[in-house]
Structure 1
Amino acid sequence: MVNIRELDPSASPLDYYGSELRRLREEARLKQGALGGIIFCTGSLIGQIETARKVPTRDFSERVDAALGTGGVFSRLVGLVLRSQLPTWFQAYAEMEAKAAYISSYQAQLVYGLLQTKAYARAVLGVRTDGDLDAKVAARMERQRILDRENPPLMWVVMSEAVLHQEIGGREVMRNQLAHLLDLQGREWVKVQILPFEAGAHAGLPGSFNLLRFDDDPDLVYTEDFVQGHMTANPQALREGSLRYDHLQAAALSVKDSAERIARVMEERYGHHPVPDGRAMA
């Protein structure tokens, strides 16, 4: 006998999603297995999502909308659900990030989240995580949807060259991540600069930070420590952040030279090299 867990739809976006999925499925007179068969998944997965034990993906939501003829209800809800999977302290930043007209980021250790591949994000988030890793990766990928909007934010990212050499997830993951950075350079609203090792001491030594600029709201500066993030519109903090970022851009390689540095590291460090017995090593 199926154990039906009663949900409080107001408890969370995930609970609301699950209760609506159950309600609309039952209105369509479909059992979980029947709906699963239509959208190419198991009835068990339908049950887990209906009871808020599993986080739905965007692909799942789009297939459910098509199967139940909901007019896009679940495709709209899933964005809220995935955002709720972000750390509580990060959710406010993600909301402001999605509204920003211009994003400036300096990254000392990792590729900026909006530019990460799924495999790289999984390796980063998998180091220390509680709960559903798949849901956390999906939430990070959901943030990247702002880059595909009709009017995406202008984004300028300066990264330490150390980011290219810090092997996250293995050689193949890194090669694909660096290739992704090169592909993104083809978008006119995304620019990446590499701060080379030869720059020596620089304005970014205190750590990574982001600057968000808006059409109608006050600008923000965002930093993180090992516990949580900090976001402020304090004029002095904005002045200091903007000045540091200007110095970092000036010390970094040009966009063109940065692409060449990324390509060189990709091939020399993560390319396909022969091993002594003549086989290729990925």
Structure 2
Amino acid sequence: MTVEAEKADQAAETPLTFFGKEVVVERKRWGITREQLASQAACGYSLVAKIEQGTRTPSLEFARACDQLFPGSEGRFERLWPLALRFAFPPWFRRYVELEWKASVVRMFHPQLMPGLVQTEGYARAVLRTGRPSNLESLVTGRIERQRILDREENPARLWVILNEAALTNQVGSTEIMRAQLAHLLTLAETPRHRVQVVPDEGQHHGWASPFGILSFDDDSDVVHVDGFPRGYLLAETEDVLKASDAYDLLVALALSPDKSAALINSIQKERYS
């Protein structure tokens, strides 16, 4: 191999491909088949193969299965997992995911869709499929894995979601997908540390068309994320954060109370998706 080719090969290495290569090394070292690893990880043979090739993002359960199956791992694959997970996201979104992972409170508003942190796997796949990505399953894995911040053992994040009523009535995927999605939203709404509110459709638009969110931290200043096309962006300037907080406060005032919002979600689920 020439020096140039070796440099190109090294440049192509990512934490995702490194994770896959380490799985191969340990599996072969201990004489473990892909079928055995698939059984331990409760997944298919083909998924193991793709993870080893660095073309699919592993779940946390997969990383833990490796640690359980490979002697002497001592949690190594679980420690590698967050680095591999970053490559489930486009480069411009990775910094946001890192900040989201550390947040103690996440406030989100979306006018048309469920935000990623509340999406079921079926809903996420239906949304992401519309962009016809070549790495659909890795994108779905990344989106669902982000939700671990809500039920992690230490300091689970508090979530406050405000949705336009349109987000409940815009059908994404099948009726079954929407029924499951609204059921999941109701579960979050009934979880004491979370808040879900709906801005009712009363024939007059409130003026906010862009999805946005605010991340709060125990030991740092708030950060704003604005969703958009072709990419979202982060805002950390004090003036921008204050404007976003003020906008969110106004949306809270316009929205139904958490109890009335839950009743509306339940009603729409029964009337439209039963």
Q: Corresponding residue for 1:185?
A: 189
CA drift of 1:82 comes to 2.1
Aligned mates of 2:182, 2:30 — CA distance in 1? 46
Q: Corresponding residue for 1:75?
A: 78
Q: How does 1:188-207 map to 2 (within 5 A)?
A: 188-198=192-202, 200-204=204-208, 206-207=209-210
Q: Corresponding residue for 1:3?
A: none
Report the 3-state secondary structure (helix = DSSP H, G, I; strand = E; otherwise coil) of the residue aligned with 1:84.
Answer: helix
- Structure ID, larger Rg: 1
Q: Corresponding residue for 2:159?
A: 155
CA drift of 1:160 comes to 0.2
Aligned mates of 2:224, 2:269 — CA distance in 1? 31
After superposition, the Cα gap between the structure-2 partners of 1:41 and 1:238, relative to the gap in structure 1 and judged at 3 Å, is: closer
AA at the equivalent of 1:167: Q
CA drift of 1:45 comes to 4.8
Contact 1:222 1:229 in 2 (8 A): yes
5+ residue gaps, structure 2, are 1-8
Q: Corresponding residue for 1:253?
A: 256
Q: Paired residue for 1:236, among 198, 223, 239? A: 239
Q: How far does the alpha carbon of each residue in 1:180-233 deviate from its partner, in whole angstroms, 9 at most, with x for none?
A: 1111122222100000011723142x3211111112222111112211011011
AA at the equivalent of 1:60: F
Q: Corresponding residue for 2:271?
A: 268
Aligned mates of 2:42, 2:264 — CA distance in 1? 43
Between structures 1 and 2, the one with greater helix share = 2
Q: Paired residue for 2:55, among 53, 56, 74? A: 53
Aligned mates of 1:38, 1:173 — CA distance in 2? 29
Aligned mates of 2:250, 2:203 — CA distance in 1? 11
When structure 1 is superposed on structure 2, of 22-31 and 150-159 the one drifting more is 22-31
5+ residue gaps, structure 1, are 1-6, 272-282
When structure 1 is superposed on structure 2, of 210-219 and 109-118 the one drifting more is 210-219
Q: Paired residue for 1:28, among 11, 25, 30? A: 30
CA drift of 1:237 comes to 1.1
After TM superposition, the score normalised by the length of structure 2 is 0.88
After superposition, the Cα gap between the structure-2 partners of 1:22 and 1:186, relative to the gap in structure 1 and judged at 3 Å, is: same
Aligned mates of 2:162, 2:36 — CA distance in 1? 50
Report the 3-state secondary structure (helix = DSSP H, G, I; strand = E; otherwise coil) of the residue aligned with 1:197.
Answer: coil
AA at the equivalent of 1:235: T
Number of equivalenced pairs: 264
Contact 1:79 1:142 in 2 (8 A): no
After TM superposition, the score normalised by the length of structure 1 is 0.86
When structure 1 is superposed on structure 2, of 160-169 and 105-114 the one drifting more is 105-114
Q: Corresponding residue for 1:12?
A: 14
Aligned mates of 2:224, 2:36 — CA distance in 1? 49
* Fraction of identical pairs, as percent: 38
Q: Corresponding residue for 1:86?
A: 89
Q: Paired residue for 1:120, among 123, 136, 145? A: 123
Output the aligned Cα RMSD. Answer: 2.2
